[in-house]
Every structure is written in structure tokens, then in C-alpha cells.
Structure 1
Amino acid sequence: MQRRKIGRTDLEVTEISLGAAALGGLYQACPRDQAMETLQAGWDGGIRYFDVAPWYGLGLAERYVGDFLRAKPEDEYVLSTKVGRLLRPVPTGTVPDYSYVDPLSFDADYDYSYDGIMRSVEFSYARLGLNRIDILYVHDIGGYTHGKARNAAHLRDFLGSGIRALEELKSSGAIKAFGLGVNEVPVCLDVMRDADLDCILMAGRYTLLDRTAVAELLPLCEKKGTSLVVGGVFNSGILATGPVPGSHFDYLPASEAVLAKVAAMEEIARRHGFPLAAPALQFPLLQKIVSSVLIGTAKASTLRRNMQLFEPRIAEGVYAEFEDLTLVAPPLGEDAVRV
């Protein structure tokens, strides 16, 4: 599988990567054997970049991914995890409902400070059982998760001291790259005014349907040499399922306007003889600053099917037919919270 560089670092990642949120039991349980089978399917298919976070299953996904990678050659894979949430133990049966099924018995507290990031890294080493983390993403900072008022304090903590922790970890060789792992554009612009980032894991904002990142973020990334890792390419599923009853866009039931756009996109794909999921998966890789497309699933069969949709590559000229159907997601209200 082809590899692309991360920012201006020497680190290279495979064009297709595996995200571990579903392995942590997002929306449905993922037993250990199933997680190992899915990870092995990715490895067998050539994936060598794996992304996880303490948040995924409240530690469960880090344990799965660490156990899997421990048996693999150290110099063959790239691993990223995230900082910004610190896990603390809670009594069995009292874990809040964060949409993870059968998570570990922990809850999470936000902490984007120097000390919080350093503690988070140490905890991740312990859960992973590995002595190396290649990329650290600052997870879910921004108004999308916290709302405008609460995020102002988190951003002060991060820019005031947290960024220094990441810079020290990189300069010491403990990590090779750092950036943000978010679902929104504004916080990336805010942070990049004051800090240089190697990469941004952007979910759902540079897709076949949603081009929110195009106007400001992509030009800024090009200028500053910041790579994008693109997740959420199906926009909560609708670009994989099509506009079927119950379709979701951006974590909510799809509006009639979005359903109509996706129906038209599906017709374009059908006319060219491929499923809509194929251009949805391949589209981000047309952009040179995109280093990898992150696939998230807990099923080996789904992962294999999606990986097959990356070949053959769709002619670039086909994408022009989708342009009039793209949209920019409206900004969330300042009190909106996503977890």
C-alpha cells in the first residue's frame, strides 16, 4: 500500500488507516476476538497506520490495539492516540452512557493542560502495553464538543501550557508528530494562528458531501505544511448506505435537503457503475495534503469490503459531477455539545 508523509516530518503512513472507535464498542459491543480479527484483516490488507484514543471504550480500544500491535514488527506500523481526556475509575455499572457498549469501568475528565497531557500519555503507554506512540492528537477540543463558553477555558489551558507538552515530547523523540483530532474547522484555525501542527485528524469536514474544510483550512494547511488525516468520510453513514430510511448525517437524522443531495450523488455513482461509497472513500486522497483516509469499523468483513473500494481509482474528472451537490455544514449553536 502506498504511503504519504505527515507534514514536514519523516513519518510516513499508509493511505488507508484503521480507526478504533468501533473496536471500543461504539454503538454495539465488540468482543476481543472480533476486534483482533478486524485488526488482522486490516494488517493483511496492507494497513500499517492505526489510530486509537483513551475515549474509545474508555480504555478498551487502546488495550485491544496495543495487544494486537505488540506481536507485530515495531518498525512496520505507525500508531496514534489522543490526549485531552483523563480516565478515572468508577464503580462497576456506573459508567455514564457515552454510546459505548460494555466499556471499561472508567469515566473521563477533560484536561488540555501540560500536566494533563503528560499524564494522559503515561496512562496510554500503560493501557497499550507499548513503549512507543508516533502521533498524538489533541482530542475534541473546540466548540463542537464543549460549547463556545466552556471551550474558551480549554483553549487557554492548551495554548497556555498543553502545546508545550507536545513540543517537548516531539523534541525529545518520544513522539514524531502532533496535531488535533476534531470534527470542526474553527478550532483548527484558532490553534494554527498560535501553533504549528504536523497534522490534523479531521472527521466529516472534508468529504464528498461536506466541504467545510475547503475555504480556509485546506489553504492554511498547505501554507503551513500541515497534513490532514481524513475520518468520517461517510458522514455518519449516509454516503455508505445512501438515503435510506433512518439515514444519519453528522450524527443526526438526515434532513430532506441532505437526503435529496445524496440521492442525486447515488445516481451519478450508479451511472458510472460503482457504489457511492467508492468515491466517498477515494475523494480525500485527490488532495496532496491528505496523508491518509481513516476507516472505522469493528467488522473484518466490512473493512475488507471498504478496502476493495479504493481500487480501481476513479478518474478525477468524475468528481466534477458531484460539485453542485456539496454543502458546508451550518455552524452549531454556541451551547451545542457533542460527545
Structure 2
Amino acid sequence: MTRQSATRTLGRTGVRVTPLGLGCAPIGNFRRPVGEEQARAVVGAALEEGWTYLDTAPHYGVGLSEERIGRALAGRDRAALTVSTKVGRRLRPLAPGEEPPDGEGFVDTPPRARVWDLTRDGIRATVEASLERLGTDRVEVLLLHDVENHVREVYETGFPALAELRAEGAVGAIGFGMNHSDHLARFVADLDVDVVLCAGRWTLLDHRAAADLLPVCSRRGTSVVVGGVYNSGLLADPRPGATFDYREAPRELLERARRIGEVCAEFGVPLRAAALRFPFGHPAVASVVVGCATAEEVRDNARMFAHEVPDGLWHELTGRGLLPEGLPLPTAG
């Protein structure tokens, strides 16, 4: 059995995900334009590599990512795939003559605007629009997206709307997606959450989720999907000017990433391979989603994930003070 065929179940649902999933923000033109055929090739390469889990959101290219996934998956067996999308931002068309709003990192996007809407009706309308763009009648996973500044609405209307959709069988698993592990931990503790997508807080450089989110997920039986394992680039290529959380990395973080890379090299392991494998040290982690803008990036990540990583590497990183003592660490095989 290959690493990619060993799927895991999200929480107590029947929804299964592959260890690597495709993060679909890049094919929504995140920070750089991606052509239609290139986007189709990215999805095709992911499926060829066995990544049957795809994560998207209306936010990604104001619907462009979902539209491209829908076109790329047309004619394929949807029963073999797991698609997650998100709610919180509803999309509306621009009025005639209306200036396009801030793209929030996305470029060359359709003429639409984002509107925060966590009402029951707003969430249902958001889901219906996503299904139309995706060309399907169902998504397997539905997440409240970046709602750290909308906590009251989460408890009053947002999460109850998701729970209602789950009870109706309209979605299989529900939860949250954001990069604030402390907020995620609170929601998991208080609510019946199947899965959370935590970006950038359980990586070789940032272990905040170990202190708050991961323990409560283990206790509550909530699965974790990890995004941002390269911390927006620093762990892919720790060179001067590399970014951490989409800003130029501070000197001390750059140096630490370089030192981690040097230890990896001593063991014959590419830094990216270690970054991809690290999150699986915690048993609550079900999958890692990787954003890819080209088919070659998909194939490269698949090669990195297949690379053997000896247990001694993690212990050496801990011994040199590059990982804190007591972290859950992966084991080979």
C-alpha cells in the first residue's frame, strides 16, 4: 500500500481523505495568474498522483478556483473524490461601473465582490453558488473560513447552519479553516466539529498548534488537516528574501530554517520532504494540503512525500534545539 492510498477518516464521519491533498488557492490566481489549461493540468496531475482530496473556497479568486475545479472534474467519477469548500464570504456580482475591490492577494479575477455573511440563509446561498461553480450537487467537507473576527456570529448562526446541513446529509463533515490555532481550539472545545484546517501553525518552524489545538482535537476526536507546511515559502527554499506567512522572513527565522535544512542534508533528506512529513507526527492529523500552481509542483511534492525520512532526523533536530523537546514526532513507515 502506498502512502497516498492509505486514506484516513475525518472525525466520526465517513469522509475519507488522502495524506496529501491539493490546495486550490493557486489555481484561483493567488499572487500570480494561472492559465486555464495550466489549472486543468494541476488538477489532473494531482489525481494522477492519487491526491483525491481537493480543498477550495469562494474566497480563492472570488470563485475562480471553484469554477476551474468544476471544469477539470467534469466527467470524472465524483464518488472517488473528496472536495472541501468554505463559507463565511458570500460572493456577489459587481454593479455596472463598480470598481473591483481589493483582490486580497488574488489577481485577474472575475467581476465579483466578497461579502461577509454568516447567517443561515447566507450560508445556504453560498453553498448553492459553490455547488453550481463546482458542477456538483454535494461537497464532502464544508468549513467556516477565516472567522476569527466573527466569533459571535459563529455561535449564533454560522456553526448551527453547518450542523443543519450535516444533519440533512447535504455535507459529510463540517468544521473550520483558518491560521489561528487558538480560535480553532476554542471552537473544537465548544462545538461538534469533525475537522479543522489549520494553516501554518503546525510546521517545522511554527508549533503553536501543539500547545492549544492538537490536544483538544485528540480529546474530542476532531481531525486536523494541515495547510501552509512551507510557511509560504521559507521551508521550501530558505534564502534571503524568502517569505514567512507571506512577509519577508525575519533574520532569526531564516537562520533557523537554514540550520534545519543543513541537518536534513546530513541525513540525505530534502528540507521539503521533512516539512511535508513533520505534521504526521501527531495522530490527529489526517492530511496535508499543498498549494500548487503547476503540474510539476504537484509531481515534485509527490516525490518529496515519497522520500524516506529516518527517525534519527527528528531526534537530531530536537537534540540541536531546532525542535522543542516533547513534540510528537513522525516515525518511519
TM surpasses 0.5:
yes
Q: Please give the secondary structure, in 1, of the residue aligned with 2:289.
A: strand
**Residue number in structure 2 paired with 1:127:** 133
**Aligned residue in 1 for 2:173:** 177
Shift of 1:313: 3.1
Q: Secondary structure at the match of 1:141?
A: coil
Q: Which amino acid aligns with 1:71?
A: G
Say whether the 8 Å CA contact 1:115–1:162 is kept in structure 2: no
1:36 and 2:40 aligned: yes
Alpha-carbon distance between aligned partners in 1 of 2:69 and 2:49, rounded to the nearest angstrom: 16
**CA distance in structure 2 between the aligned counterparts of 1:115 and 1:103, rounded to whole angstroms:** 26
SS of residue matched to 1:268: helix
Contact 1:113 1:158 in 2 (8 A): no
Q: What is aligned with 1:219?
A: 215
Match of 1:108 among 110, 114, 119: 114
Q: In structure 1, what is the equivalent of residue 191 of structure 2?
A: 195
**8 Å contact 1:210–1:326 — kept in the other structure?**
no
- Matches for 1:68-217 after TM superposition, within 5 Å: 68-90=72-94, 91=96, 94-142=100-148, 151=149, 154-217=150-213
Answer yes or no: is the 8 Å Cα contact 2:196–2:224 preserved in 1.
yes
Q: Deviations over 1:297-339 (max 9, x none)?
A: 1110111011111113312332122232248xxxxxxxxxxxx
The equivalent of 2:310 in structure 1 is 315
Equivalent position of 2:329 in the other structure: none
* Contact 1:95–1:105 (8 Å) recurs in 2: no
The more displaced of 87-96 and 214-223 is 87-96
Using the TM superposition, name which of 112-121 and 211-220 deviates more.
112-121
Q: Are 2:18 and 1:14 equivalent residues in the alignment?
A: yes
Task: Please state if 1:66 is matched with 2:70.
Answer: yes
**Unpaired stretches in structure 2, ≥5 consecutive residues:** 325-333
CA RMSD of aligned residues (A): 1.4
**1:286 aligned to which of 281, 292, 300:** 281
**Which segments of 5 or more consecutive residues in structure 1 lack a partner in the other structure?**
143-150, 328-339
Distance between the aligned counterparts of 2:120 and 2:316, measured in 1?
47
Q: Whole-Å Cα distance in 1 between the matches of residues 84 and 146 of structure 2?
A: 15
What are the superposed Cα offsets for residues 231-272 of structure 1, whole Å, 9 maximum, x if unpaired? 000001000012x12111122111111011111101101111
Amino acid in the other structure paired with 2:180: E
Q: For residue 240 of structure 1, what is the amino acid of its counterpart?
A: A
Shift in Å, 1:12: 1.0
Judge conservation of contact 2:240–2:254 (CA < 8 Å) in 1: no
AA aligned opposite 2:322:
L
Between the aligned residues of both structures, percent identity stands at: 39
Tell me what 1:333 maps to. none
Moved more, 309-318 or 179-188: 309-318
Higher RCO, 1 vs 2 (CA within 8 Å, ≥6 residues apart): 1
1:187: how far off? Answer: 1.1
> Residue in 2 aligned with 1:275?
270
Kept in 1, the 8 Å contact 2:54–2:83? The answer is yes
Q: Tell me the CA shift for residue 155 of structure 1.
A: 1.2
TM-score (norm. length: structure 1): 0.90
Distance 2:209 2:134 in 1: 32
Q: Which residue of 1 aligns with 2:243?
A: 248
Q: State the distance in 2 between where 1:317 and 1:290 align.
A: 21
Does structure 2 retain, via aligned residues, the 8 Å contact 1:70–1:130? no
Q: How many residues align?
A: 316
Deviation at 1:68, TM superposition (A): 1.5
CA distance in 2, matches of 1:226, 1:89: 36
Q: Which residue identity is paired with 1:128? A: L
Relative distance call for 1:111 and 1:321 in structure 2 (3 A) is farther
2:253 corresponds in structure 1 to 258
1:4 aligns with 2:8: yes
TM-score by length of 2: 0.92
Secondary structure class of the residue paired with 2:236 = helix
Partner residue of 2:55?
A: 51
Query: Which amino acid in the other structure matches residue 105 of structure 2?
Result: S
Q: Which amino acid aligns with 2:143?
A: Y
Whole-angstrom CA distance in 2 between matches of 1:191 and 1:231: 18
How far apart, in 1, do the equivalents of 2:185 and 2:295 lie? 36
One-letter amino acid of the counterpart of residue 119, structure 2: S
The Cα of 1:83 is off from its aligned counterpart by 0.2
One-letter identity of the residue aligned with 1:301: E
Give the distance between the partners of 1:106 and 1:82, measured in 2 at CA.
17
